[in-house]
Structure 1
């Protein structure tokens, strides 16, 4: 069965971007430190990134994150989801209005205007059998999917940085019980995996 996996890097104080995040400053001030693990030479960091990419059948992101990755300072052949891996998943963007054009035309983009439940349904259809639907963010998208009870597994890459402000992942809402499945400590992050029950 296809799992819905929320996968996100977070600071010790609970932020998924630094302050002043926007299209030209995607991770906000100081937010690049959240993803140090994804570019490290640590063997365990590389394994976690490689395995996560290999499991991805379809990836969901919100419109603000899409505007960052598709913007002029966004993804390229060298930087982006699965950029150094073989194959690329389908991408599903939650938005109130699709963009007029897309810069990254070599990727499979689908724009869903009817909410997170429909975005997950579309992503499930696009994901090959046995592969995960991955919610990569932003924080509001993952939060809304958690609130809707649509997430099966939460992957948190806890970065050793305190940002002080930015985009929080958790902003209240329903209580969720998590079952810890694994903890991997590397030189750049603590990688935590939880089942959501």
Structure 2
């Protein structure tokens, strides 16, 4: 069964970027510390990265995040989604206006202009098609940004939430949660490592 999972790194004070994020400063000032776990040699960190990439049949992201990862200082062969892991999923971008050009033409991009629910539906279809080809269940992963994940949670689109809680206090930046619809979460796992605490929740609808 294809699930819809939000998966994002967050600071102890609840930020998913540092201050002043943008295409030339993707994670904001100090925000790189949020993803230290993804480059760690810790076996549990490596397992979370490997399993998260392997389960990704399609990935949803917002336009601001797309502009960062497709920008001149964005993804490359060493820093892209699941770089060094198995395969590359399809990517679905929620946007009001598709970009005129794409730098990362080696990736499979779909731009949806009719809202987040339609983007999630498009990603689900891509994930289910990939699952049929590979003969195993694959999920839709919402990688961000924060507004996209908040909107999905508020709209009841998520089945699960995975947080990589980094041992850093950023003081400012992009908050993951800023009010919204209350949701009941069921804690499924807690895995501490030297670089993060990996938290997995089911989302009650």
Normalising by structure 2, what TM-score?
0.95
Aligned residues: 197
1:162 aligns with 2:162: no
> CA–CA distance in 1 between the matches of 2:100 and 2:83?
24
> CA–CA distance in 1 between the matches of 2:33 and 2:50?
20
1:172 aligns with 2:179: yes
Question: Match for residue 3 of structure 2?
Answer: 3
> CA–CA distance in 1 between the matches of 2:102 and 2:195?
33
Question: Match for residue 116 of structure 2?
Answer: 116
> CA–CA distance in 1 between the matches of 2:82 and 2:42?
18
Question: Match for residue 96 of structure 1?
Answer: 96
Task: Return the offset for 1:86.
Answer: 2.6
Instruction: Encode CA deviations 1:166-190: one digit per residue, 9 max, x unaligned.
Output: 1001010111000000000000000
- SS of the residue 1:110 aligns to: strand
> CA–CA distance in 2 between the matches of 1:158 and 1:87?
26
Question: Match for residue 134 of structure 2?
Answer: none
Instruction: Encode CA deviations 1:84-123: one digit per residue, 9 max, x unaligned.
Output: 1231100000001000000000110000011110000000
Instruction: Encode CA deviations 1:108-144: one digit per residue, 9 max, x unaligned.
Output: 0000011110000000011123100000000011010
Normalising by structure 1, what TM-score?
0.99
- SS of the residue 2:7 aligns to: strand
1:190 aligns with 2:197: yes
Task: Return the offset for 1:9.
Answer: 0.3
Q: Is the 8 A contact 2:58 2:91 kept in 1?
A: yes
> CA–CA distance in 2 between the matches of 1:20 and 1:78?
24
After the TM superposition, which residues 1-197 of structure 1 pair with which residues of structure 2 at under 5 Å, given as runs?
A: 1-127=1-127, 128-129=130-131, 130-197=137-204
Which runs of no fewer than 5 residues in structure 1 stay unpaired?
none
- SS of the residue 1:58 aligns to: strand
Instruction: Encode CA deviations 1:29-77: one digit per residue, 9 max, x unaligned.
Output: 1100100000111111001100000000000000010000001100001
Greater than 2 Å deviation, 4+ residue runs? none
Q: Is the 8 A contact 2:44 2:193 kept in 1?
A: yes
Q: CA RMSD in A?
A: 0.6
Task: Return the offset for 1:82.
Answer: 2.1
